[in-house]
Structure 1
Amino acid sequence: MIKVLDSGSRGNCYIIQVGEEKILLECGIDWRNILKGLDYSIKGVKGCLISHKHSDHCKSFKRAFESLPKIYGPVEVIEKYNCHSLHKTKIIENKDKFKLGNFNIMAFNCQHTNSDGSDCQNLGYLIQHPQIGKILFATDTYYLKYKFKDVDHILIECNYSEKYMQDLEPYQMRTFKSHMSLETLKETLKTWDLAKTKDITLIHLSANNGNPKEFKEEIEALTGIPTYIAVPGLEIS
């Protein structure tokens, strides 16, 4: 099961659960809401994967660090919270492979920037479990260097459409240009082998420059694959 706790600039957190095993993707919302999403029990949670250092993706890092067995993320995340612990935290780089319970995970580079335009270390994750197949997770990336195939479930950013950008101020343009547009996502998916893909979930939509209905319809028309918008409470089996 894939469960969305929240998605977007206000905060991001997702749960991947297979049987009694769970992992968190991001912890960018209040810890109380994460616990609520876990039915107030961290039993079976093998760890948390964090994409990058921006607070809407790692707001509850310290509570996750205190409560969960493992936290994985790029070095900028670990340095931000000064939680260097060989036992609890693990710095991950591009193409690193590791295991959490029966989840086999590989990290890959995503392309993101900070508000000043400087590069922000950002990772996506390819997650495989014998019972659920492969899950691809990529957020806050204006494009992807890699092509993927044989992915069962895709969680990928579709932040805005370029046609909504014409009247924005330059500082707003910088913000959105560090995220993936609908147009870029469509061109990206055209290059992937989607023969095994069961569903696509569009994550991190802009509140003001994203059109959920339009995005869903365009991705479904392009791929022929059931497409969902990541909203709190969405569950995909």
Structure 2
Amino acid sequence: MINEILFPLLAFVLVFSGGLFLVFGFQDYKKRNKKKYDFLTSFPFELVQGNGRGSFFSRLCFVLYAIIYVASSFYELYLSPSLSFLNQLGVLLGVVSIMIFVSMLIIVYVPAYSFRVHLFFSVVFFALSVLSDVLIGLIYLNLYQAQLTIMPIIIMSFAFISALFKGLILINPKLAHWTELDTSVGSDNVVTSSRPRPFVLAFSQWLIIFLNALSLIVYMLGLFLTCLS
């Protein structure tokens, strides 16, 4: 009974808090910069860097989102069958989820102007996200071997494909030159600089954040259905 309530509750709060983070952030960003937020060129931290009420609520919602992200990962551990090899993988998944929580907060709260710190934790965040998918894929592989049902093999395939896609983002050679800007010379010979579209590090961060949220909901649903079958 508790599983039937907990899964939709966690999924709802995850989506709701993430949505409010964006709504409050968009409003505050537009008020501060007099333009709409652009996922292709803007960093997540730019949604929360203001001092207004919108930035405050955006920061609050993101912290809630990050907490629910970790709680949802531990929900997966709670539903895992009591087999030793799954428990070991589950504990490791829990540790990785906490590390994702920390690195995700850092890239949202530490501006990219501190470029070395920001880049380091961005790479850590990307790598941990890949590792999380690999661990979940292994968990579902073991579930398939134990149950021989179709759901674990579907989720396992999704996990490994997700890990591959995130891995391609991680090893994108353009990340090494993410600070490079587009320049143009106007008719008055004034040189102006602007962020390219997409601005590789900012767009990569958003891709991983959205993929992590989508993957987590799929994994929770898959494990929920597997344990009910």
TM-score, normalization: structure 1?
A: 0.26
Q: Which has the higher strand share?
A: 1
Q: Which has the higher contact order (CA 8 A, sep 6+)?
A: 2
Bigger Rg over Cα: 2
